[in-house]
Amino acid sequence: MRTRDCKIVATMGPASDPPERLAMLIEAGVDCFRLNFSHGERADHARRMKAIRAAEEKAQRPVAVFADLQGPKIRVGSFVDGQVMLRFGDEVTLEASDQPGDDTIIRLPHPELVESLEKGDILKLDDGKMKLTVTGRNGAQRTARVDFGGVLKNQKGVNVPTRRIPISALTAKDREDLAYALDLNVDYIALSFVQHPEDVREARALIGDRAGIISKIEKPSALENIDEIVELSDAVMVARGDLGVELPPEQVPIAQRKIIRSARAAGRPVIVATHMLESMVEAATPTRAEASDVATAVYQGADAVMLSAESAVGRHPQSAVAIMDRIIRAVEDDEEYWSSLPRDMTPPQDTTADAIALSARHIADVIGCASVVAYTATGSTALRVARERPRCGVIGLT
């Protein structure tokens, strides 16, 4: 039985591919692996899935797997010379086209994006390194002013924090990847760039009961609909990468806490992700700020914390998992953690099942139970008990 409440998610990649490395990651504390469908071929994901299940059987420890769909990542088109220099104060034209652009015109192969842009809208390019403000429209084109300049290369990402983009969270590629991932028997499907509840409903219609849905919260529009999105999802992820581009830096910690509280109120698991131990892509130890970041997520009530590049392409994937494991255990050994949980927890719903789950946690904590056993047909009873965070383990019997 596991002795740690907060789980560790590790992203698969070249650094974690060798079978012996995979076994060491599970031994170090990985509870769930992420297959990132933004990179690699489908055959790579099938090979990794097979390797994970083999390592899981050898370790005699259950390990979950989720497929992370790429989603409708908006990117600029190409340029005649492969890149352009955008200078502060320059005026550029935005146009929906697949043709190469230059230093005066940026082609965006997304007609729905260009059509939706209005004067005053902000575009952040290449993960926020450059910034444009729309100044006007000329037929199907838009003009924009360069507020932050830099070198813009082919196919770099575009974020529009000021506007909800009228596109589905599932692209044609996502639908094909989704069908493939379901055939691999993954446990969860992660939806990228969820903007509104309908995105989750659309995915649910395709997935049915073959896998759970993790909604990645990385758009301001998702925050506006957070409670309904959480209610429709099986779990949520605080995806701080794109969320950190869409929001001002000072708003990201506030958004993280809001998402965690909404998920806990609904009894949904919540994952905190992105740049948790980023320096360990190269360094053997994390910065103290990174250690504090992981600890803060645990104190706030996160059900899992996730490694991305650290385990996928980093030089020290096993050490990153081991250090994350130690940080989580240190927090969960702190009495302040346990005393703060009831204060921060949203009261359960006024139902018999929730009342029983809350009472079970109180009894278990008072008498020091070794575990709480929940008889359940669908797993919801065990999840309700786990939501209350008893100090002992929770066993679900079906």
Report the candidate in 213, 260, 217 with the shortest Cα–Cα distance to residue 242.
Answer: 217
Active-site residue among 7, 48, 131, 216?
216
Reply yes or no on whether 216 is catalytic: yes
Report the candidate in 104, 82, 84 with the shortest Cα–Cα distance to residue 95.
Answer: 104
Cβ 244 vs Cβ 274: under 8 Å:
yes
Residue type, 331: V
Active-site residue among 274, 361, 387, 389?
274
Reply yes or no on whether 343 is catalytic: no
**Residue 137 pairs with which residues in a beta bridge?**
142
Cβ 131 vs Cβ 161: under 8 Å:
no
Cβ 32 vs Cβ 66: under 8 Å:
yes
Beta strands 91-95; 150-153: pairing state: unpaired
**Tokens matching residue 212:** 């759970």
* Run of H or E including 341: helix 335-344
C-alpha Rg value of the chain to the nearest Å: 22
Reply yes or no on whether 75 is catalytic: yes
- Which 3 state secondary structure label does DSSP give 80? coil
**Tokens matching residue 43:** 């055959």
Chain centroid, CA 278 distance in Å: 15
Cβ 183 vs Cβ 216: under 8 Å:
no
Active-site residue among 7, 34, 240, 384?
34
Active-site residue among 42, 53, 75, 153?
75
Cβ 289 vs Cβ 279: under 8 Å:
no
Report the candidate in 195, 202, 191, 204 with the shortest Cα–Cα distance to residue 246.
Answer: 195
Cβ 144 vs Cβ 133: under 8 Å:
yes
Beta strands 91-95; 158-159: pairing state: unpaired
Cβ 259 vs Cβ 236: under 8 Å:
yes
Quickly tell me which residue has 């297959």 as its tokens: 35
- Give the residue numbers marked as catalytic: 34, 75, 216, 274
